[in-house]
Structure 1
């Protein structure tokens, strides 16, 4: 049943909301909520009638519109463009703060003037803005950009290339893309490309028949067959041997393959996700990675931010990891311990944070992990700690940012608007960042 909130709401316009199968609200140009549909009440709760509630108050607890509080405002963008706008926000819900895919649709009156707005709110379940031991967690701008890109590409079968330093959570991101996609009920098969010799890689991926080589005493299906209908995740694809890259390219171009030692052609049906911490364009220029394969796998690149690029997420990350490690044991991470962790460089990113917390779990004498326990954990690996501290410089971060933006621009063939969209920043910010970094170099 439609919930009419403002007394001056046109009942016919309000009833239109029930035509949407997701939570929806009707608003005026002053951000005032006029009505909501039944799906909205089920997901976010009922808004009291005649309260003069504004969307930014209800969703975020703000006193001002989102764009005045440091966030993107879809209504302001919709009013400026005259077209539908989409953004990922974190909203307050009965279950806590939750990522929500927000789409705003403009409604024009008979005179052709913007009259009302319909806001569609679709909760995003691949990440959490609260403590979670099952999902990616975070609420920083960098993390929200990552979640938004995953949410956008997941419903498509487009090949995805996950880029970022080691330990940033590329395997979790791959799982999120798979689960949110149309193949989520089928297998997600991971192939660890690092360290596999070409012959073993081919056998693992394509399978082999009896007698194909010494020791092949029976037919063995490959991981491609296991991934049928699902997703194939090639982790650290930058380590695939050159000879195998040719066969991988042929697979992607033809959708078919042969098991090692077989003459029978088999069809492959899978969604491809690749990941690497390496600089693939540099490998291409050195002749260590095929250019045609690079463009084949790089249909939709997603950069995973380093932990130092999302320090505000560290308390949530640390407590979520601790909850997973501790099991039944109730542990408390003090504010002083969190502040000490936030001062670290974390060259190993989330994986390094997990190692530190696992040490803390062992070293803590009670249920409290304070700064002194964290200091002991850091002292257990003094060489790495010293290296991280020396590397943690603004210039180093700027250099990494420059490299990422230049690579992105090259991928977009110089299209700055597209590069800015993928990076999750405005075109103006892209120009500013490139200009600042270039001046400093």
Structure 2
């Protein structure tokens, strides 16, 4: 039989929780809600409904059984087994619809270390949506939830975060979500696009320069490091940083100091570092094109961002989100079931960026407001596109090695715009990679 918490102690817990700004509830060992604080009622409560006496899994998930029996991680079971706190990211039903909620459950132990009750604290994740949305991150698949959970863990710290994933997986959106979930959310979020920058240009962009530092430097210009003061500096495609500049970047990260180009004055930086790349940095270290010491500084907390083919269940949510953004003059777009099935079957080598481009194109042909198979381009219409040798290279665009891309580009007879579309990548990404291969 489960040990119950005496009523006076329950009241003492309720009084304690009322002092907290964070929503919280008290549970007994049989999943019954014993009490909730005012903050919980304000954020998750429904007028006229007490929830006291109801099962937590029914209130939060509308389940008829505990989470672990419904195929999910149950923090209560985990907290009981280890006699300590457990934390999990769940999707809860709220008055606003399904939402991502960061749940922390702590057991209350008696003198014999038996669990007598639990305190559950809940925090809504504001930077992601479990339903279609016009902005921010959208998803609810297991792979997406793993990445979002890691992001929530990393956000409160100052550890450098490295976002790893194929081109088009939404690295900048994840970086912005990390910033917004951190203590630096009120500070600036500054993006440094490391791709395509020469050593000289990278240094002047990052550190700024003094008047007269070089031809054309007519005034002093603060760099992006200064602009990011008090906020987050996002180094997108850090794998493209010139080797000679990696030394100065390492010094900036280690010492927090830098100098403007043409200056002898040492300045102090104040930023949270987030970096991202689609390149295999570990292989680049072995080849000598990426510094080992820099790698270990920027990869303190790596987060894998899943490719779209790893989160197919999110495609309907993403489609609805993009269609909301594409709606013009009150014209609402829908997708036929057979078209949605085809979209979910495709491998999406260009990931979310490719999906967005396909939907934007299809919307222009959906005269009746409905996207069917006829409105989808060949690459989006066929689950496994068959377009000859060029198409086979395009189907792996997100994972193309440089030599594969060079072969594909050499045999492609169309325009650069058509080539980018065939590969499922943006023209900017294609131009950058071709220029790195001296084919630009």
2:41 pairs with 1:16:
no
* Contact 2:349/2:395 (<8 A) preserved: no
**In the alignment, which residue of structure 1 is the partner of 2:368?**
366
| Structure 2 partner of 1:274 | 275
Shift of 1:211: 2.1
Contact 2:109 2:116 in 1 (8 A): yes
Match of 1:152 in 2: 153
Calculate the TM-score normalised by the size of structure 1: 0.83
Q: Distance in 2 between matches of 1:78 and 1:388?
A: 48
Partners of 1:383 and 1:305 in 2: how far apart? 26
Query: Once the two structures are superposed, what CA deviation does each residue of 1:332-373 show, in whole Å capped at 9, x if it has no partner?
Result: 122222111001000110000011011011111121112321
Is residue 344–residue 389 contact of structure 1 (8 Å, CA) maintained in 2? no
Equivalent residue of 1:56, what SS? helix
Counterpart in the other structure of 2:204: 203
Corresponding residue of 1:26: 26
Find the aligned partners of 2:335 and 2:15 in 1 and give their Cα distance.
49
Question: Are the equivalent residues in 1 in contact too, given 2:110–2:116 (CA < 8 A)?
Answer: yes
Shift of 1:41: 1.2
Residue-by-residue CA offset, 1:121-162 (whole Å, 9 max, x unaligned): 111111000111111001111111111111111111111100
Counterpart CA distance in 2 for 1:379 and 1:118 is 50
Q: Distance in 2 between matches of 1:375 and 1:250?
A: 48
Structure 1 residue aligned with 2:195: 194
Change (3 A) 1:375 1:199: closer
Supply the distance in 1 between the matched residues of 2:277 and 2:177 (Cα, whole angstroms): 17
Q: Alpha carbons of 1:84 and 1:378: their partners in 2 closer, same or farther (altered >3 Å)?
A: closer
By how many angstroms is 1:210 displaced? 2.0
- Alpha-carbon distance in structure 1 between the residues aligned to 2:336 and 2:36: 41
Q: Which digits, 9 at most, give the CA deviation of each residue in 1:85-135, with x for residues without a partner?
A: 111100000000000010111112344321011111111111000111111
After superposition, the C-alpha distances for 1:167-218 in whole angstroms (9 at most, x for unaligned) are 0000000100111111111111111111111011111111111222222222
Alignment: residue pair count:
388
Cα distance in structure 2, aligned partners of 1:383 and 1:262: 55
Range with greater deviation from structure 2 (350-359 or 331-340): 331-340
* Pair 1:76–1:389, CA change in 2 (3 A): farther
CA gap 1:45/1:344 in 2 versus in 1, 3 angstroms: same
Distance in 1 of aligned mates of 2:393 and 2:31: 47
Q: 1:50 to 1:161 in 2, by over 3 A?
A: closer
Cross-structure match for 1:96: 97
2:415 maps to which residue? Answer: none
Structure 2 partner of 1:335: 337
Provide Cα deviations, 1:386-405, integer angstroms capped at 9, x if missing partner. 3379659xxx9xxxxxxxxx
Aligned residue for 2:276, secondary structure, equals strand
In 2, Cα distance between equivalents of 1:131 and 1:250 = 43
Q: How does 1:256-267 map to 2 (within 5 A)?
A: 256-267=257-268
Cα separation, partners in 2 of 1:366 and 1:388, compared to 1, 3 Å: farther
SS of corresponding position for 2:357: helix
Within 1, Cα distance between the matches of 2:174 and 2:396?
26
Query: Can you give the 5+ residue segments of structure 2 that lack an aligned partner in the other structure?
Result: 1-6, 400-440
1:373-412 aligned at under 5 Å gives the runs 373-375=375-377, 378=380, 383=387, 386-387=391-392
Q: Trace 1:21-170 onto structure 2 (pairs within 5 A).
A: 21-46=21-46, 48=49, 52-170=53-171
Contact 1:356 1:374 in 2 (8 A): yes
Unaligned runs of 5+ in 1: 1-6, 397-441
Q: Quick one: distance in 1 between partners of 2:395 and 2:348?
A: 12
Residue matched to 2:251: 250
**Higher deviation after alignment, 277-286 or 328-337:** 328-337
DSSP 3-state at the match of 1:274: strand
